[in-house]
Amino acid sequence: MKDLFVDLTPEQYENFAIVGTSIWNSYLKDRILEEMMNINSGKNKLLDVGMGTGHILFDLLDFPEFDNYHLNGIDLDFRMVDFCNEKIKKHSVQSRITVYKGSASALPFQHNMFSLIYGRSVIHHWSNPQKGLQEICRVLDKGGIAIIHEPLSDADEDAIKLFNKEREKCGISNMSTEEKYTLDGIQSLLFSCQMKDVEYHVQKGTGIGALGCEILLKKKV
């Protein structure tokens, strides 16, 4: 199985990410802020796994909760990384954001490096989802948390229709469910990772989150 790339130019993806997925991005950002109070790590480093063009990283710059954080992102698509680096230079935020080209299954970071890790709609893009989750847990600091919002193949039908409607507005075809997991599949995947030092909780979303599920990982101190 190969990594699944987004079949869009960075410019197209940026428009889709900001306009077409804005309500789902806001939902993830709200959950990140809610869970920050549960972080017991002083590393103050954040990682966006599968960042795309870095749209959420730039949004987080406006939140005072991240004033003392260094924001990091990684994506396997060099086009997205180059596009994001141009934005970083344009907005002169090199001291706040650093992005990397790399795979989730081989993150180029030391153990216990990040207090907070997040991703949205990423697991089904990975060629080795088990290794990707294990890598996230490896680089997550003790007392840190990771949040992943992942669409499901058995998601609420109305939620899928809403998402496809937003995609259509951006000139993007309907979401495929073929490569995505069921809720039970996500549970089985996490169980197979055998993460002894990490607690995990999977919850199917409701409301705007009914498109998928939330995976919440907490690394033991």
Q: Indicate the pLDDT class of residue 8, thresholds 50, 70 and 90.
A: confident
What is the mean predicted confidence (pLDDT) over 20-39? 95
Supply the pLDDT for residue 4: 61
Supply the pLDDT for residue 176: 86
Nearest-angstrom CA–CA distance, 105 and 101: 12
- Average per-residue pLDDT in the chain? 94
For the chain, the distance separating the N- and C-terminal CA atoms, rounded to the nearest angstrom, is 35
Can you say whether residue 156 is alpha, beta or left, with left for phi > 0 and alpha for psi between -120 and 50 degrees? beta
What is the mean predicted confidence (pLDDT) over 9-33? 93
Q: Does the pLDDT at position 3 exceed 90?
A: no
Supply the pLDDT for residue 6: 72
Dihedral (CA of 2, 46, 201, 106) sign: positive
What is the mean predicted confidence (pLDDT) over 55-62? 96
What is the mean predicted confidence (pLDDT) over 31-57? 96
Q: What angle do CA 218, 148, 71 make, to 5 degrees?
A: 85
Supply the pLDDT for residue 2: 62
pLDDT over 90, % of the chain:
89
Q: Indicate the pLDDT class of residue 30, thresholds 50, 70 and 90.
A: very high
pLDDT over 70, % of the chain:
98
What is the mean predicted confidence (pLDDT) over 24-52? 96
Supply the pLDDT for residue 179: 86
Instruction: Quick: pLDDT tens for 119-178.
Output: 999 999 999 999 999 999 999 999 999 999 999 999 999 999 999 999 999 888 898 888
Instruction: Quick: pLDDT tens for 103-112.
Output: 999 999 999 9
Q: Indicate the pLDDT class of residue 93, thresholds 50, 70 and 90.
A: very high
